[in-house]
Structure 1
Amino acid sequence: MASSKKAQSVSPLAPLGIEAAMKAKEDPNSVVRPKIFDEFALTDRVGLVSGGNRGLGLEMAIALAEAGAQVVYCFDLSKEPSEEFKASREYVSKLGNGSRLEYFCADVRNQELLWKKAEEIGDKEQRFDFCIAAAGILKPHVECLEYPGHEFRDVMEVNTTGVLFTAQAAGRQMARFGRGGSIILIASMSGSITNRDHAWVSYNTSKSAVLQMARSMACELGEQRIRVNTLSPGYIYTQMTTAYLDKEPHLFDKWSGMNPLGRLGRPDEMRGVATWLASDASSFLF
């Protein structure tokens, strides 16, 4: 006997998959077309990316624009956007889908400023749909018993406290507009495992805290259809890791060998998963 209970949730793109196939069978004249790319589309959506002046943050911002986001607001410490950002902004303007990148200067440690900036974005765009908290720093390795207090605090304030403030700023606007949304916190494999030779007590601790932060926020914000997830990349060859490897070049081969593929990751390899998490294709992932 068929259940009389109604589905608790329905995709805005329904019917999909099997349901679409069954409806097509009932109506031979119906038009059949693939919808999987529609599920990944970010058409008309608005969001925020911290650490978006270069590196992983900017790489993911471009991907979101390519997926159709109306505007991706990127912010970083630099008062002026980098040459990479300027080139990326021009590139996005030529996509032909109406997407754009915007830049503003902000410090992730300034909670009041981030809340204010996010509110200004909400006022202007009248929606807020996604957030990627990608800003982070990496300090030189120091033995844990000798680690300076000021350096530990610096890493924790940017990599953990700054992530919270960024997520708060975006989440407040998502709650304000009542459309739900997706918050993506960039953690690291170092939050789950420890490289014995380079433990990075501050970095590992900060990223472990981000993982737990996401779990707590996901539970609290889920009722408002605001999803919170983390990405924990392995070693990615970015400007930040390049600067570190320049000082300890012997680690290049060592880090590459720790990966089953035998190489470091590319920044562009984060594009797909970031777009997936920001889109409706991951609507039950939290």
Structure 2
Amino acid sequence: MASEVRQRAKAQSASPLGPLGIEAALEAKANPSIQPRPKIFDEFALTDRVAVVSGGNRGLGLEMAIALCEAGARAVYCFDLPEEPSEVFVASREYVSKLGNDSRLEYFAADVCDQQLLWKKVEEIGDKEQRLDICVAAAGILKPHIECLEYPADVFREVVEVNTTGVLFTAQAAGRQMARFGRGGSIILIASMSGSITNRDHAWVSYNSSKAAVLQMARSMACELGEKRIRVNSLSPGHIYTQMTAAYLDKQPHLLDKWSGMNPLGRLGRPDELRGVVTWLASDASTFCTGSDIIVSGGHHSW
């Protein structure tokens, strides 16, 4: 009976990379002809995979897209509102072309709030690449602080439309292709620590609400798509200095020290400090992780 259970459990969740860790050690013990080699980096490799990244023209989205390329993705398709990519995107695309791993960084213009356009564009990517494995929904906007009792309806709707509805439409577009090709996949919704805490000094009611909705969206989609081997997780950064937050901080320089002092590390985060976790979530190193929120906040929640 115990042997049967072990065999069923192994068959249920066998690694596509073959035996790993202890299992690999025991196999090598039983067969001295096997030459052990490190496999941990194989687990993180994204060789031949295809990804879409919203908000990928700059900032966190572009930073994550480059990381996926460095991990070996065949192509990473970034999209954003501008018809033409930014200079920093063009420089990043050139950088990726010189990595020597045949990875491609591509760009197309699209509004995350246009559901049918996104579905169509990502379907075209599926037709061209014949697979879709990774989605990073990173597009988002941030508005100046307005007292919650005075918050205008149009501003609230705009933030929620981009930060919540746009995330859903992006995840849908990618998930439809993942289901179509039957290989499973990883959908990563970029939320914020603001989705699970209240920022007392800058309580952006629309931003906090939209990001909280993304956390629940990831859990709900994970439950529904698990049987299709599509994993859905959220990634919640803390205070990161990007072009988006710079527009807010540069006008109120006193907030730099204040925000820096709100976590045990005593500083803001860098965009590149999210590279490792997004690559992990996209890769086979995290195949049992779904419905989770990964917080990268310098320990902000610890206080």
What's the TM-score once normalised by structure 1's chain length? 0.99
The amino acid of 2:26's aligned partner reads M
Cα distance in 1 for residues equivalent to 2:94 and 2:72 = 15
Q: Does 1:62 pair with 2:66?
A: yes
1:184-223 maps to which residues of 2 (within 5 A)? 184-223=188-227
1:127 — aligned with what?
131
Cα distance in 2 for residues equivalent to 1:27 and 1:212 = 48
Deviation at 1:173, TM superposition (A): 0.2
Counterpart of 2:40 (choices 36, 42, 63) is 36
Cα distance in 1 for residues equivalent to 2:257 and 2:234 = 27
Deviation at 1:2, TM superposition (A): 3.7
1:82 — aligned with what?
86
The amino acid of 1:69's aligned partner reads A
Counterpart of 1:182 (choices 169, 181, 186) is 186
1:92 — aligned with what?
96
2:114 — aligned with what?
110
Cα distance in 1 for residues equivalent to 2:31 and 2:115 = 55
Cα distance in 2 for residues equivalent to 1:247 and 1:157 = 26
The amino acid of 2:94's aligned partner reads E
Cα distance in 2 for residues equivalent to 1:260 and 1:222 = 36
Cα distance in 2 for residues equivalent to 1:17 and 1:74 = 35
Gaps of 5+ in 2: 291-303
Secondary structure, aligned partner of 1:101: strand
1:167 — aligned with what?
171
Q: Which consecutive segments of 4 or more residues in structure 1 shift more than 2 A?
A: none
1:269 — aligned with what?
273
- The count of corresponding residues between Structure 1 and Structure 2 is 286
1:3 — aligned with what?
3
1:52 — aligned with what?
56
1:14 — aligned with what?
18
| 1:98-146 CA distance string (max 9 Å, x none) | 1010000000000000000010000000000000000000000000001
Cα distance in 1 for residues equivalent to 2:35 and 2:75 = 32
The amino acid of 2:281's aligned partner reads L
Cα distance in 1 for residues equivalent to 2:108 and 2:30 = 53
Q: Does 1:284 pair with 2:291?
A: no
Cα distance in 2 for residues equivalent to 1:3 and 1:126 = 40
Gaps of 5+ in 1: none
1:229-268 maps to which residues of 2 (within 5 A)? 229-268=233-272
Secondary structure, aligned partner of 2:108: strand
Cα distance in 2 for residues equivalent to 1:216 and 1:3 = 35
Cα distance in 2 for residues equivalent to 1:29 and 1:163 = 50
| 1:64-106 CA distance string (max 9 Å, x none) | 0000000000000011000110000000000110101000000
Deviation at 1:29, TM superposition (A): 2.1
The amino acid of 1:4's aligned partner reads E
Q: Does 1:145 pair with 2:120?
A: no
Secondary structure, aligned partner of 2:4: coil
What's the TM-score once normalised by structure 2's chain length? 0.93
Deviation at 1:246, TM superposition (A): 1.2
Cα distance in 2 for residues equivalent to 1:37 and 1:213 = 31
Cα distance in 2 for residues equivalent to 1:71 and 1:195 = 37
Cα distance in 2 for residues equivalent to 1:68 and 1:235 = 29
Cα distance in 2 for residues equivalent to 1:22 and 1:90 = 45
Cα distance in 1 for residues equivalent to 2:81 and 2:254 = 30
2:75 — aligned with what?
71
